[in-house]
Structure 1
């Protein structure tokens, strides 16, 4: 105990809360991945990962222990923060990572009479049934759910500084269906509910237990945590809008670029790059061997009269910045370009971007930049289009039609 009291910690505290019959050892996945990530940046930033032992209690079947577990977590948070009292910039809050019922306990902390909300600014839950119990078999469990959800509904204005992320396992989670993991809609500005199958760079369903150690999901979570670090304090940023922006970057729409606070920057194309004008509506390029640096400019003036959108899709094009906006009407190679790659979306097999021409009234053309490659294969397809011509209204049959009507 004396060794623990004298422990000198300099990282960012993260507390893992296991769920129903869960083990404190389940924290090892996020702990080891965060350690490797810290090693890659020379320990300039790192996380101190803690875990709570709930003695593997079956709280999903008996709710009588939930209140005691919540109080124990409160005591643990205060004990963890005391370990940092000698730091120059000691952390004022703890990140909570809860699996299953552990995520509900994280939200239940705010219902405690003496709890200070500033002790927590970020909660990440994995396969947590937020809406209602999976099996409401005793009144302790249902009363606890009512207490937590009613508190968050009635006190939403006081909880706007708390950022929440709920991750569902998808169709492989037979214990907690995805519909139960959705956070209350009243806190949508500070809460995010996602399914693992739709998370960029994860795209996989997990069962109820493996969501804790799913490598793709753990890597995404770790990247998001590191991107939330404030450079000045070396702690998680106090800006809730930045925390939400980071979560959306990693868990909703990933543009295949590293996260940066400023998304649109001015860049220059190399003088050695060859540039060409493309005046056709559809354009496709397939590279199967070494390719020199080049750029392709798509003029917008004539296209604005007929089309409303510009769509590009690239496959195996491994470059972060690849599509730009230009205001130079004379040359395909602009002196200054606006990087529009942030508007792209990473898909399992490609990167795609759809740009509305009305949003770029000052742009003379879009520029597609292709770097020099060495025997690497990639393809790019671009086209101008109208959304209304690509949209077909479909009459959905009545639920009791028994297949008597066709969709088409």
Structure 2
């Protein structure tokens, strides 16, 4: 297998407005050769790199998704797109974030046009954003001409949603204020968008986990926040960069993607409840089995059994207290 990221030709108007940015389609080996003519039949996913990040980082997701598709004989598969921001430094300057947001908006429209003549043409794009790339994705609904239905799923990796890591620039703080105010005051605009924020945990010295919370998370029923060390079958903290290629975390993400597919439309399900069920299954309560539409109900402790357990726990606590007092005395 060899890497062959194919550059997508953009309309001249977009190229002139954003000369430093590019759009690519990820591919490997035969899969890349088959998609040379851009006759695409998969499910579009757009990867957005973060501060000084490379568009080639999409390979972590794209390669695992390709192996998974091969295992099921391409019954379903994903087309991973990625944006080249020319490794731009955006963590300290909000003006660049605004420019990147406008470019990503144009890229989404270009991506959807590639599928317009296909039998199962998608109407939305899923986005995975690393660090500031996740913030750029969250800024899309603030654009005047942006259609909320363009995105139905957003997964962010170590993204400082709450505030800048270093608020040294007024444009940057204004950008954060505009994005977070929009999500709080105009939550109706993102009501159909399912969002997952994954923090790196204690090993991420650049973006502490507290910054990865989504504003007013408790009031947004379609948003989920997790720390990588708490993700089932991952159980590991990641530093700021390795969260992009942590294999266990990537596997959880790709498994979730495939479980999100609607068999009728062959695209990511439009049911927000189903999306949250799948994300909770893979990132919160994974029971080490495949996702089921109607999982078995957990057995509840009732009556005598529950009382017995409670009494045993209370007696154990009393023994611990007595023992500690004896040692102190």
Under a length normalisation based on structure 1, what TM-score does the superposition of the two structures give? 0.66
| C-alpha distance in structure 2 between counterparts of 1:155 and 1:188, whole Å | 11
| C-alpha distance in structure 2 between counterparts of 1:156 and 1:387, whole Å | 42
| C-alpha distance in structure 2 between counterparts of 1:384 and 1:236, whole Å | 45
Give secondary structure in 1 for the equivalent of 2:46: strand
Q: Does 1:157 align with 2:188?
A: yes
Aligned counterpart for 2:289 among listed residues 257, 260, 263: 257
Report the counterpart of residue 202 of structure 1 in structure 2: 234
Q: 1:138 to 1:6 in 2, by over 3 A?
A: same
Give secondary structure in 2 for the equivalent of 1:70: helix
Mind listing any 5+ residue stretches in structure 1 that lack a counterpart?
265-339, 344-353, 366-382, 395-408
Give secondary structure in 1 for the equivalent of 2:300: strand
Q: Structure 1 residue 386: deviation in Å?
A: 2.5
Report the counterpart of residue 148 of structure 1 in structure 2: 179
Report the counterpart of residue 188 of structure 1 in structure 2: 220
| 8 A contact 2:41–2:120 mirrored in 1 | no
Give secondary structure in 2 for the equivalent of 1:95: strand
Q: 1:109 to 1:355 in 2, by over 3 A?
A: same
Q: Does 1:356 align with 2:301?
A: yes
Q: Residues 115-143 of structure 1, C-alpha deviation per residue, up to 9 Å, x if partnerless?
A: 00000000000000000000000101000
| C-alpha distance in structure 2 between counterparts of 1:75 and 1:158, whole Å | 19
Q: Does 1:92 align with 2:37?
A: no
Give secondary structure in 1 for the equivalent of 2:118: coil
Mind listing any 5+ residue stretches in structure 2 that lack a counterpart?
1-8, 11-32, 319-329
Give secondary structure in 1 for the equivalent of 2:127: strand
Q: Does 1:234 align with 2:266?
A: yes
- Structure with bigger helix share is 2
Give secondary structure in 2 for the equivalent of 1:356: coil
| C-alpha distance in structure 2 between counterparts of 1:230 and 1:10, whole Å | 15
| C-alpha distance in structure 2 between counterparts of 1:105 and 1:187, whole Å | 22
Tell me how many residue pairs correspond in the alignment.
285
Aligned counterpart for 1:219 among listed residues 237, 243, 251: 251
Q: Residues 146-186 of structure 1, C-alpha deviation per residue, up to 9 Å, x if partnerless?
A: 00000000011332211000000011000000000011225
| C-alpha distance in structure 2 between counterparts of 1:129 and 1:87, whole Å | 37
| C-alpha distance in structure 2 between counterparts of 1:104 and 1:385, whole Å | 50
| 8 A contact 1:224–1:250 mirrored in 2 | yes
Max Rg structure: 1
Q: Structure 1 residue 61: deviation in Å?
A: 1.4
| C-alpha distance in structure 2 between counterparts of 1:191 and 1:393, whole Å | 37
Report the counterpart of residue 120 of structure 1 in structure 2: 151
Q: Does 1:386 align with 2:309?
A: yes
After the TM superposition, which of the residue ranges 71-80 and 5-14 deviates more from structure 2?
5-14
Give secondary structure in 1 for the equivalent of 2:232: coil
Q: Residues 40-77 of structure 1, C-alpha deviation per residue, up to 9 Å, x if partnerless?
A: 11100000000001111110012211111000000000
Aligned 1:256-295 pairs, distance under 5 A: 256-264=288-296
Q: Structure 1 residue 390: deviation in Å?
A: 2.3
| 8 A contact 1:170–1:205 mirrored in 2 | yes
Q: Structure 1 residue 5: deviation in Å?
A: 9.3
Q: Structure 1 residue 88: deviation in Å?
A: 1.1
| C-alpha distance in structure 2 between counterparts of 1:180 and 1:51, whole Å | 25
| 8 A contact 1:156–1:187 mirrored in 2 | no
| C-alpha distance in structure 2 between counterparts of 1:41 and 1:86, whole Å | 25
Q: Structure 1 residue 187: deviation in Å?
A: 4.2
| 8 A contact 2:234–2:248 mirrored in 1 | yes
Q: Structure 1 residue 257: deviation in Å?
A: 1.8
Q: Residues 99-123 of structure 1, C-alpha deviation per residue, up to 9 Å, x if partnerless?
A: 0000000010000000000000000
Under a length normalisation based on structure 2, what TM-score does the superposition of the two structures give? 0.82
Moved over 4 A (4+): 1-6, 391-394
Give secondary structure in 2 for the equivalent of 1:241: helix
Q: 1:114 to 1:204 in 2, by over 3 A?
A: same
